[in-house]
């Protein structure tokens, strides 16, 4: 049975960077990565204006049924085909990415621990805690560079949905974590901390 290592944290907290670092440290034959962000529901049936009005920071925006099904398969040792999500259009183009059922599957996502059905499936739960001003700065930089957004639109969304949903769902979920790690500081040290959480009997 595979080990599911969950890394949760707010948008811009550095959870994805930490997760990628852990996978890199363990190596591709021992670890794989699954991002909860690719499980946003397809909004291709909506107009672009309607898509822009969807609250993507609320738990209802994610396909929890498909995600938990995939977690169960990975834990049982079966590879899965994770959906691909286009953040620029808020749609699923229909393509998938194969995720291997390695000894350790690192699962990362903003709302990962907000769902009891997900949290209880994770063998180890890590929360990446980060000050709001740093999360906001990183969010602006990422969305402008990678998602074709303007600073004004990112700021507006952060104030309207990102911050309120973080305060309501994300930050409280830190209480379900086995360990809380700062969202700044030395990344290599943080990777060491997470890798050290793996049980001695588990291949790393």
- Asked if 102 and 34 touch (Cβ cutoff 8 Å), the reply is no
Read off the pLDDT of residues 133-192 as tens digits, 9 standing for 90 and up: 999 999 889 888 887 788 888 898 889 999 999 999 999 999 999 999 988 889 999 999
Say which CATH topology domain 3-195 has: Rossmann fold (3.40.50)
> pLDDT of 59-89, one tens digit each?
999 999 999 999 999 999 999 999 999 988 8
* pLDDT for residue 64: 96
User: Which residues in 10-50 belong to E strands, given as ranges?
Assistant: 31-35
In sequence order, which residues have a C-beta less than 8 Å from that of residue 131 and are 6 or more positions away?
183, 184
17, containing H or E segment: helix 15-26
The domain ranges of the chain are: 3-195
**Could you tell me which residue, 2 or 76, shows the higher pLDDT?**
76
Instruction: State the pTM of this model.
Output: 0.90
Identify which of 137, 162, 161 has the alpha carbon closest to the alpha carbon of residue 151: 137
**C-beta atoms surrounding 78 within 10 Å:** 12
């Amino acid at each position: 049975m595979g080990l599911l290592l969950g890394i949760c944290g707010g948008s811009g907290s550095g959870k994805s960077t930490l997760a990628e670092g852990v996978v890199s440290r363990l190596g591709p034959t021992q670890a794989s990565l699954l991002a909860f962000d690719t499980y946003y529901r397809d909004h291709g049936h909506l107009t672009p204006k309607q898509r822009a009005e969807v609250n993507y920071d609320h738990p209802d925006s994610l396909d929890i049924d498909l995600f938990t099904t995939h977690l169960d398969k990975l834990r049982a040792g079966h590879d899965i085909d994770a959906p691909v999500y286009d953040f620029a259009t808020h749609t699923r183009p229909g393509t998938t990415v194969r995720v291997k059922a390695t000894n350790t599957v690192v699962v990362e996502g903003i709302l990962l621990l907000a769902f009891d059905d997900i949290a209880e499936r994770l063998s180890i739960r890590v929360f990446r805690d980060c000050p709001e001003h740093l999360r906001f700065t990183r969010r602006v930089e990422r969305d402008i560079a990678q998602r074709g957004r303007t600073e004004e639109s990112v700021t507006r969304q952060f104030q309207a949905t990102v911050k309120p949903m973080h305060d309501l769902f994300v930050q409280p979920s830190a209480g379900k974590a086995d360990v809380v790690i700062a969202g700044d500081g030395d990344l290599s040290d943080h990777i060491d901390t997470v890798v050290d959480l793996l049980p001695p009997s588990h291949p790393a």
